[in-house]
Structure 1
Amino acid sequence: MEKYIMSLDQGTTSSRAILFDKRGNIAAIAQEEFPQYYPKPGWVEHDAQEIWYSQRSVAEKAIAAAGVGPWQIEAIGITNQRETSIVWDKETGEPVYHAIVWQCRRTAPVIDGLDPEFCQYIKDTTGLVPDPYFSATKIQWILNHVEGARARALEGKLLFGTVDTWLIWKLTGGKVFVTDYTNASRTMLFDIHKLCWDEKILDYFDIPASMLAQVKPSSCVYGETLAEYFGAPIKIAGAAGDQQAALFGQCCFEPGSVKNTYGTGCFLLMNTGKTPVKSHHGLVTTIGASCSDSVEYALEGSVFVAGACIQWLRDELMMIESSAISEAVAREVEDTGGVYIVPAFTGLGAPYWDSHARGMAVGMTRGTGRGHFVRAALESIAYQTYDVLKAMEKDTGSCLKSLKVDGGAAANSLLMQFQADILNVHVQKPACLETTALGAAYLAGLAVGYWTDKEEIKANWKLARSFEPSMDRDKAEKKLKGWERAVRCALVWSRED
């Protein structure tokens, strides 16, 4: 009887469930989008209950689509949008406020007001650049602005979790309150060297330690689901933030190996092994997914808006009917006609870290049309990746020759070719683009013995297509200079004279 690992892939705009077999093939997949809430400019929220309902729903649908029983699922692995912060009542299980999403910029004034010495302490301790992106100031905001929340937190009645913690808590009926090292390392509260919550940072943001989950390895049996959810208990045996899961799913097990995920945002990660690499060029040091208590580290550059820019063209500007046709529309023109889009809708992430930057479209003429705009949006994803990769090369002193890619936008051949041209590296696309979900499945499968070791997993990785750089370098450099000018516009737009 065939057995499977089920991956729960909880993303920023949708929840998915995928069943993988031993060869890493997809046996079934189900997906549901859920609402996004924008109560004020720069604010982004989710309803944590809607996340839970959608995730449970797609899990049930995937099992039904595969035509299997729960006894055929060896384990569940969870991967999730990171930094998004949920605070809920320990007794009732009800969130006290909407989840504040990683994209939300409401706490930018708090970050702006941090003492420089304390900012350096945060960098040294957590590996992160102080920013509203991370969880710490989101938790503080909820405790400060929800009536009675701080008092209840001090009484030990409230819990905080990133989405992995919330889902595990719900799946186990409130019996298991855990997170893994990767997600903990994204809260701006976790000492990535001592592997514990940092008391000094907790005290500064006035966050009670009782709110925080136990931290465990990414590959670990955390508990079992309630039997009523899927017909029988299923072990929950893996958890990792989406980008660390993708690094694992791409089999980037050796130091120096790099992957880029093109999703709602864009995230470039390099495995740096047992030694954390401190960035001096706007990147962050984070913990990678590992199978033991001794962690491995990664260097990361985070782009806040990538695929979300294409969704913006679809939903707000109504330039395209679906994200899938963006490539065809972009191919209607030879180039952007000099148009650049800087999608700084929620500020700019690595390597700029400017929460006040705003979106910008420049270089338009009377002849600018839909195709130019769509092509410029796609190219903005590649340009932002270029900025991060160059920062990574400066930090490590190495020159990348190839880049593994995954995520939804990696299916766009025009974008991938332009990425290869701008970076001047080989871009390698695997046969399975669902590497985030696959990484979570691998972590869970290793914990229960479904896969023996990493070597067995590496045998599953297959190359679907390699994109070779073909653009003249003078032409590429000219395009990059135009991008640099456009970014400067976005950076100065919200500055006061």
Structure 2
Amino acid sequence: MANNPSYLLALDCGTQSVRALLFDREGQLLAKRQQAFQPPFYQGPGGSAELEAQHFWQALCQASKGLLRETGIDPKAIAGAALTTQRGTLLHLDGEGQPLRPAIIWPDRRRASQLPAIPWHWRLALMAAGQLGTVRHFQAEAEINWVAQHEPRVHAEAKKVGLLSAWLTLKLTGQYRDSVASQVGFLPFSYRRQAWAEPWDWKWQALKVRRDQLPELVAPCQLLGELSLDAAEATGLPAGLKLFAAGGDKQAEVLGAGVAGEELASISLGTTATITGLSHKYKEAVRFLPPYPALVPGAYCLEVQLNRGFWLLRWLLQEFGEVETQAAKAEARAAEEIVEELISAVPPGSDGLVFDPHMAPGVIYPGPEARGALVGLTDGHSRAHLYRALIEGIAYALKAGKDRLEKAKGQAFSGIRVSGGGSQSDTVMQILADVLGQPVSRPHTFEASGLGAAMAAAVGLGWYPDMAAAGEAMCHQGQCFWPQPEHQRTYQRLYQEIYKPIYGKLRPLYKRLLNWKD
């Protein structure tokens, strides 16, 4: 078998764990090893979210070695590998590639207050476009600027600055490179050109980073490098194994869900919930919010994001679901299983209870003032209603995103593929179908982001000529859920008459609360 390598390895570094996944050329998952971060990232006071970078590397090595040990396969039977990671996680490195401080994880909510000065001509241009405030928010959100302000020694000593994907590529290959499709974050990146911004671009003045600190960018499916001797010893993988560029986990998930063309949309029901469509032309679903590079080389992911997706269910269980949590422990079941039983007994529309899930700030829509809302609460509602209203609220937000994407693209989607943790629930899938008003289906594997990365490796190896061909061969539709007309009518009315106006009507109050003090 080693003489004819036939396996693809996907290394999927998420927010809570790393998964090493072994696929065949037909996209079937043959083996999996998951290694949780120990400890998990720390959500500290003031909104900080950090994790020592070595924990990422140690978990990746343990997952890789564990996979090989449990399967007993010859590592030389692996034809190629690809890396996909969580997005927007930033590291500052010294000249040897060693982290100078813990990685700043994407949920971090700290804000810079000392913002770099933008030249007057750019300020005038941005003011004329009505975007100076948005750019100032962009600067405050940028982790690079926070480090420059609060940790000037780290800022001064950093020889390399980049995302987690770039550092893991450096650890694996010795090359400071990163995929174009991993550049999702507050960086001087041109989304239109899919390259680092031109030298004259305002982003270089807005962010405390230099071009020589950033990694070399590689297009999706192209070679990032080969596994070094040190990395081979640490991971158990063969030295010289080719590592191909994939991209951020959400972009990889789109491909792994079976969306390689413009006719389908992908919904991810993970910690963050997203709805994404592909476009071969630069288009903005929300004005001034750029589309991200796709794993399809040269294409764009038009994405509408709900910053707090199925994390909200965990939050609700943690804060208000003691009964369900204790029952789950007593019955040796997951609390989510009990929640599914509860919401199945509540009628569609939750007896008039509507939840707006925009509980985390955004940049433009929702804006930095964003907050959640629960509308229609009465003493006749129970915790079961709260759980169902939360799921329906996420579905409403995704429907609003779908409307934006279709308007930007100028065409309706013919189908919806759904992946992520929430997609494992039949009840959630049915609610989505009813709210969206069209069939939704799962991909054949739950590990959609890993499959998308494996597809990038397959194209890089020349097994398939492009991502469309790889998708045809490696992505297979799973169970499909069809909208129920009566439920669809209920949801359509609640969506149009109640959900859609909520945020706009409450936004002025949210803005007052943003600056509210005792």
Contact 1:130–1:188, Cα closer than 8 Å, also in 2: no
Answer yes or no: is 1:302 the counterpart of 2:305.
yes
* Post-superposition offset of 1:281: 5.0
Structure 2: which 5+ residue stretches go unaligned? Answer: 326-333
Q: Is the 8 A contact 1:87 1:161 kept in 2?
A: yes
Q: TM-score w.r.t. structure 1 length?
A: 0.87
1:323-371 Cα offsets, whole Å, 9 max, x none, are 641322322333534333333342257x723123233344333343232
Alignment-mate amino acid for residue 46 of structure 1: L
**Residues 1:66 and 2:71 aligned together:** yes
User: Residues 467-478 of structure 1: matches in 2 within 5 Å?
Assistant: 467-472=481-486, 473-478=488-493
1:178-193, aligned counterparts within 5 Å?
178-184=177-183, 186-193=185-192
Alignment correspondent of 2:60: 55
The match for 1:392 is 405
Q: Is the 8 A contact 2:250 2:268 kept in 1?
A: yes
1:3 to 3, 6, 22: 6
Q: Which amino acid aligns with 1:77?
A: A
Amino acid at match of 2:196: W
Return closer, same or farther for 1:287/1:122 CA change in 2, 3 Å cut-off: farther
Aligned match of 1:46: 51
Question: Residue 296 of structure 2 corresponds to which residue in structure 1?
Answer: 290
Q: Indicate the SS of the match to 1:105.
A: coil
Asked if residue 100 in structure 1 is aligned to residue 114 in structure 2, the reply is: no
Q: 1:119 to 1:187 in 2, by over 3 A?
A: farther
In structure 2, C-alpha distance between the alignment counterparts of 1:135 and 1:109, rounded to whole Å: 6
The 1:467/1:137 distance shift into structure 2, 3 A limit, reads: same
- Post-superposition Cα deviations, 1:245-300, rounded to whole Å, max 9, x if no partner, equal 12222343323432111111112221111x21134557532211135xxx122321
Letter in 2 for 1:29: K
Partner Cα separation in structure 2 for residue 374 and residue 108 of structure 1: 36
> Does residue 445 of structure 1 match 2:476?
no
2:144 is matched with which residue: 129, 139, 149?
Answer: 139
Query: For residues 239 and 377 of structure 1, do their structure 2 counterparts lie closer, same or farther at Cα, with a shift above 3 Å needed?
Result: same
SS in 2 for 1:300: strand
**SS of the residue 2:498 aligns to:** helix
Which of 399, 408, 418 is equivalent to 2:431? 418
Q: CA–CA distance in 2 between the matches of 1:86 and 1:216?
A: 19
| Alignment check: 8 A CA contact 2:89 2:104 kept | yes
* Structure 1 residue 109 displacement after superposition: 6.0
Cα distance in 2 for residues equivalent to 1:477 and 1:54: 45
Task: Label 1:166 to 1:471 Cα distance change in 2 as closer, same or farther (>3 A).
Answer: farther
Contact 2:22 2:31 in 1 (8 A): yes
Aligned equivalents of 2:36, 2:375: Cα separation in 1: 32
1:139/1:441 CA distance change after superposition, 3 Å: same
Residues 52-97 of structure 1, C-alpha deviation per residue, up to 9 Å, x if partnerless? 2222222222222222122121121111111121222232x44233
- Deviates further, 318-327 or 221-230: 318-327
Give the aligned partner of residue 484 of structure 1.
Answer: 500
Maintained 8 Å contact 1:83/1:135: no
CA pair 368-36 structure 1, distance change in 2 beyond 3 A: farther
Residue number among 27, 31, 35 corresponding to 2:30 in the alignment:
27
Alignment correspondent of 2:265: 258
**Contact 2:112/2:145, CA 8 A, preserved across alignment:** no
Aligned to 2:277: 270
Bigger radius of gyration among the two = 2
What per-residue deviation string (whole Å, max 9, x for no partner) do you get for residues 187-215 of structure 1? 44112344432233123323122210000
Query: TM-score, normalised on structure 2?
Result: 0.84
Is the deviation greater in 373-382 or in 439-448? 373-382
1:78 aligns with 2:83: yes
Q: Could you tell me how far apart the structure 2 residues matched to 1:245 and 1:61 are?
A: 23
Q: Deviations over 1:148-186 (max 9, x none)?
A: 123223xxxx312212112111223xx210111112254
How far the C-alpha of 1:443 sits from its partner, in A, is 0.4
Structure 2 CA distance for partners of 1:331 and 1:235, relative to 1, 3 Å: same
Query: Which residue is 1:166 aligned to?
Result: 167
| Aligned length, in residue pairs | 481
Give the aligned CA root-mean-square deviation in angstroms. 3.1
Offset, 1:36: 2.8
- Specify whether residues 279 and 307 from structure 1 end up closer, same or farther in structure 2 by C-alpha distance, changes over 3 A only: closer
Give, in angstroms, the shift of residue 379 of structure 1: 1.6
Partner of 1:126: none
Instruction: Determine helix, strand or coil for the equivalent of 1:284.
Output: coil
| Closer, same or farther: CA 36–363 of 1 in aligned 2, 3 Å | farther
Task: Name the CA shift for 1:327/1:287 in 2 (closer, same or farther; >3 Å).
Answer: same
Q: Contact (CA 8 Å) 2:115, 2:206: kept in 1 or not?
A: no
Q: Is the 8 A contact 1:136 1:188 kept in 2?
A: no
